[in-house]
Chains A and B, each alone.
Chain A
Amino acid sequence: MTDFSVVGKPVLKVDSLSLACGSARYTADYEMRDPLYLAFAYSPVAHGDIVSLDDSEARGMEGVTDVFHAFNTETELFTTAGQGYPEPSPYDTRLFNKRVRYAGEIVAAVLAGTLSEARAAAAAVKVEYAPLPTLFDPEKAMDKDSPSLHGEDGAYAPLPVPFRAEENVAGEVLFSFGDMEKGFADADFIVDETYRTHYTAHCALEPHAASAFFDEKGRLVIVASTQVPFHARRTVSRVVGIPAHMIRVIKPRIGGGFGSKQEIILELYAALAAWKYKRNVKAEMSRSEVFTAARTRHPMRVRIKTGVKNDGSITALDMSDVMNTGAYGAHALTVLSNAGSKVLPMFNKIENMNFVGRAVYTNLPIGGAYRGYGATQGYFAFNQHMDGIARRLGVDFLDFVKKHHIREGETSEVFKAIGEGTEGVSQIIRSCKLSECIDKGAEAIGWSNLRGKKIANGPVVKGIGAAVSMQGSGIPQVDMASASMKMNDDGSFNLYVGATDIGTGSDTILSQIAAETLNVPLEMILILSSDTDLTPFDTGAYASSTTYVSGQAVLRCAEKVRSQILSVAEKMTGAAPESLVFKESRVVNTATGEETSFSDIACFAMYSHDQFQIQASASFTGSESPPPFMAQFAEVDVDTETGKVRVVKFVSVGDCGQPLNPKLVEGQIEGATMNGISYALTEQYIFNSKGKMTNNSFWDYKLFGTLDMPEMKTIVVDSDEPTGPYGAKSISEIGINGPAPAIANAIYDAVGVRIYDLPLTPEKVLKAIRARTDG
């Protein structure tokens, strides 16, 4: 890394001072003239047909402009998932459905002069429902006598992917290789276990918001808290019926996303209302609305059956997943795919493998994209399962993983078998330092001193556990990013990217790549991102794609600019191209020592001779998706009298290729890790018997705060991904995969009980401890 000047350095995040000083603006901060406000009415029933809707009282209330609902606002079927086009998610919803499918579904939107007027009127919308039988248990979704949620409404999949509404199947992924029967027959023993993960929310601190206003030409400008501005424009245009050329979507600063804002929700209603009245409109969710009207992490049942020989080799592995997509199928197929495709290649030496995955509808909140995207759910099961097998074999879990995990130069059949819902893309792993990650982490956590020692302090027993995982870097042959760049007469560069910085630091990383390539200090790159009028296209901030895919687009764009600079310099100096080299903000003729500044070069091009502006654009689509790898370790204290689990220390060691900005890399790992720890221990949706979430507020949905922090250690190992920009792979998602299984494995290490379902609440742990001592 030593020969880089900007890349690999902990340069300051380019937007951070404005954020720290309060001058940066988020969606809800945009001031607009005389706006109208939107508020929503929600279904209290989990499944039912709207028999009648009486909005007369609401319409008569002070300040009310309009009430939108299924009886006055028809739209076609679509998906709220912000994905490529056509989307791999089924078209199964409308802006207002006449049949509601979960408690909390939007049934009406009220437009009024103030937010409180809109909210008051929303509460006055009277809806009569004819209740339908409900379906809350995903594992019963495919039963013959279960109600079919989408069987009658014409829901369909816009891509040729499995979709069977009658059976409540929103997506299906099947693949198999080898000979399962033989594989299991060859085994000395078979372990067959079922794990379950739970509903959770992203809890980005900024609630979803959208503001719509008109520019002086009458075009609709939507400022939105989105991870996918370009998909948002496309979907708004299609669903609301506004020509796309009349829409501009701007992404301002975003207060965190984690996948929640890869969904097009408020943008649609704000656009609908604004377009109809040609008035400015603001919409903002309250925290409780975010819990139920926005998206969640899909709960999953993961069954793994593994055939093992006494020598430790694995003869067959059969994974069968039932994923609960909730009332609608946003990201159903693709999250499900990832539970297989991001997990099963980990142990690539298994010759016989089978995967059956089904995403099913239930009358519960809607799943969506969430950091980890299915891998988190799969790895919770995978790591515990393998920990158990290693114990049964009498070998150390870490040695067991090292024996089986995929390595550089190797591939896995799974890459080819599963892509994002469709067939995948085969690839060879070019960088994998997982074994180093494991070794470094084991040392940092004190594995050999603590593992299996069950050190007790009164009723409190210590244990340690580990988990490994991999993710991807964008969706190969799907995700596309573009960048463009122009050179100014002072030698600075405007960089325009579609890539969407939602707090991740991509504006910084991409600026670093440009600065490195052009040999200028970071401040000479003036980045502007995510504005559908001003910047080129990018699929958006998801699938761990930005560094790898958008980064390559910037790299290529900057290289083109660089060669233009060189050719102008040639013309200016008459030097042979071989003798010209780049130094900081200038080109040097090695033959004569003559230096030409970038500013002079830009001015020459602009003002002097055969005038043109030095500028370029480039697009990139990955042909592969190099996975980052991570090993994570938890040291926990389990209170055997209360079941409380305290994470004392947590170590994450990652291989993300070359870290383009070490501080930002650590920040991504630390944030994902802490989210993962609180996902494992305290976060959960609690439903009543009617399927209504009862803890839809921070009062009872508990996130970790500063008082709950374990000692955290983050290590990034040396690695280099030859296909990545300056050797980089992704890092944003992977860190959330390990905490839950590492903690669960640590609990087992301490007290010898395996917890098969999340979250690992004290009551559950205590019950398991009791069952073991009693049994």
Chain B
Amino acid sequence: MSTVQWYFPDTLDEAISYLGREKTVPHGGGTSLIKSGIASLEGLVDLSRLGLDSLKMEKGILEAGAGMTFGGVAESLANLHPECILGKALGASASTPMRNRITLGGSASLFPLWSDLIGPMSVLHGVICTEGKNGGTYDLPSWLADRTLQKGSLITSLLFPDPVDWLSSYYRETRVGFDYPAFTVSILARKNNSTIDKVRIAVSGGLDRVRRLTELEERLTGADLSVLASLDIRKMASVEFGRKPAGSPEYLSEIAAVQVERGLKAVLTEEGKSR
């Protein structure tokens, strides 16, 4: 029998004061809290009245409230910026009813191994904004590096400094259409005629959770498109995996590299565009 206390604050300050209490954590969509169980918790702070559910674009910076659902983000972006990788990724995640419940805040707090948020965060250089004990802004690597940052903090929004006008591709490896991904591949690029101006590539789901393929990015940046034919992209895109129901580590590693290559070609060349 659970004795957990629910709080429904109307202001951030109120929310943060509750979060200071023993074993009291935020409630976003609840999808992970339900799975893991809340028997060990004493308090849940519901965030739905804090007004953290808006999406704003100002001066080229996208700010998405932590209370926004994956479905909400995907829908807004599909209208505003259909090419934005964040909308593509979140719109492809889970299923329609799950997307209507999973929040950015809950997902950024956990970044599960199957996260559809982590890849876009990585390539878009997304920033996590928090209030409370460890209030501040954190980039993804520092946030992932220090789990203790989460204690007592409330994620209020995610900031994406330069989210649009990229060529983008997002791939999620799934066994069926509605599945969590075994890995994801996020690619952003900008090109100038036949020169690759910028490229960012992230693979999630491997042993590193999310990995930027920096070596490959460096070799491609500033290069002519013809480099795609000469580089051994698959070798450079090799990422290590653990065993998953979707396949052995070797298999996942191999096909992730295939998808990196395909994604790059799709983004940068005409022939690969269809997906």
Contacts and interface: CB of A to CB of B under 8 A. Distances in A.
A505 to B, nearest CB: 27
Interface string A602-641: 0000000000000000000000000000000000000001
Nearest to A706: B177
B151 to A, nearest CB: 28
Given A705-B178, A707-B178, A708-B177, A695 B245 contact: yes
B179 interface: yes
Contact of A700 (B95, B178, B245, B255): B245
Interface string A733-775: 0000000000000000000000000000111001000000000
B160 interface: no
B175 interface: yes
Contacts of B145: none
A708 B176 contact: yes
A703 interface: yes
A637 B225 CA distance: 29
A101 B247 CA distance: 29
B176 A682 contact: yes
A707 B248 contact: no
B173 to A, nearest CB: 9
Contacts of A703: 176
B233 interface: no
Contact of B176 (A686, A694, A704, A766): A704
A682 B175 contact: yes
Contacts of B259: 642
Contacts of A694: 245
A308 to B, nearest CB: 37
A695 B251 CA distance: 19
A642 B177 contact: no
A499 to B, nearest CB: 34
B34 interface: no
A708 B178 CA distance: 9
Contact of B251 (A678, A700, A706, A766): A766
A761 B247 CA distance: 9
Interface in B186-203: none
A766 B176 CA distance: 18
B229 interface: no
Contact of B179 (A641, A642, A702, A706): A702
B245 A762 contact: no
Contacts of A763: 247-248, 251
Interface string A672-698: 000000100010001000000011000
Contacts of A708: 176-177
B262 to A, nearest CB: 8
A124 to B, nearest CB: 14
A116 interface: yes
Nearest to A120: B1
Interface in B232-262: 245, 247-248, 251, 255, 258-259
A686 B245 CA distance: 8
Given A682-B176, A705-B178, A641 B245 contact: no
B180 interface: yes
A762 B247 contact: yes
B3 to A, nearest CB: 13
A705 B247 contact: no
A679 to B, nearest CB: 13
A115 to B, nearest CB: 12
Contact of A641 (B175, B176, B180, B255): B255
Nearest to B1: A116
Interface residues of B, number: 15
Contacts of B258: 641-642
Contacts of B251: 762-763, 766
Nearest to B244: A700
Nearest to B271: A458
Contact of A705 (B1, B176, B248): B176
Interface in B3-62: none
Contacts of A704: 176
B255 A705 contact: no
A702 B175 contact: yes
A91 B259 CA distance: 53
Contacts of B247: 761-763
B243 to A, nearest CB: 10
B169 to A, nearest CB: 16
B66 to A, nearest CB: 25
Interface in B173-225: 175-180
Most interface-central of A694, A695, A702, A705 (chain B CB within 10 A): A702
Contacts of A678: 176
B239 to A, nearest CB: 15
A250 B268 CA distance: 64
Nearest to B180: A699
A201 to B, nearest CB: 15
Nearest to B92: A707
A703 B177 CA distance: 10
A699 B175 CA distance: 11
Nearest to A641: B258
Contact of A642 (B95, B178, B255): B255
Contacts of B180: 699
Interface string A713-728: 0000000000000000
Nearest to B265: A458
A703 B258 CA distance: 26
A689 to B, nearest CB: 13
Interface in A387-429: none
Contacts of A707: 176-178
A521 B177 CA distance: 44
A264 to B, nearest CB: 32
A694 B244 CA distance: 11
A40 to B, nearest CB: 19
A678 B255 CA distance: 22
B79 to A, nearest CB: 22
A706 B1 CA distance: 38
Contacts of B177: 705-708
B142 to A, nearest CB: 31
Contacts of B178: 705, 707
Nearest to B95: A705
A641 B258 CA distance: 7
Contacts of A643: 255
Nearest to A700: B245
B238 to A, nearest CB: 15
Nearest to B179: A702
Contacts of B1: 116
Interface in B80-122: 95
A766 B253 CA distance: 13
Contacts of B248: 763
A682 B178 CA distance: 12
A291 to B, nearest CB: 14
A704 B175 CA distance: 9
Contacts of A762: 247, 251, 255
A686 B246 CA distance: 11
Interface in A187-246: none
Nearest to A767: B251
Nearest to A686: B245
Contacts of B245: 686, 694-695, 700
Contacts of A642: 255, 258-259
Interface string B150-168: 0000000000000000000
Closest 6 CB pairs of A and B: A707-B177, A763-B251, A702-B175, A763-B247, A642-B255, A700-B245
Given A682-B176, A762-B247, A766-B255, 13 more contacts: A116-B1, A641-B255, A641-B258, A643-B255, A702-B175, A702-B179, A705-B177, A705-B178, A707-B177, A708-B176, A762-B251, A763-B251, A766-B251
21 contacts: A116-B1, A641-B255, A642-B255, A642-B258, A678-B176, A682-B175, A686-B245, A699-B180, A700-B245, A702-B175, A702-B176, A703-B176, A705-B95, A705-B177, A706-B177, A707-B178, A708-B176, A762-B255, A763-B248, A766-B251, A766-B255
Interface of B: 1, 95, 175-180, 245, 247-248, 251, 255, 258-259
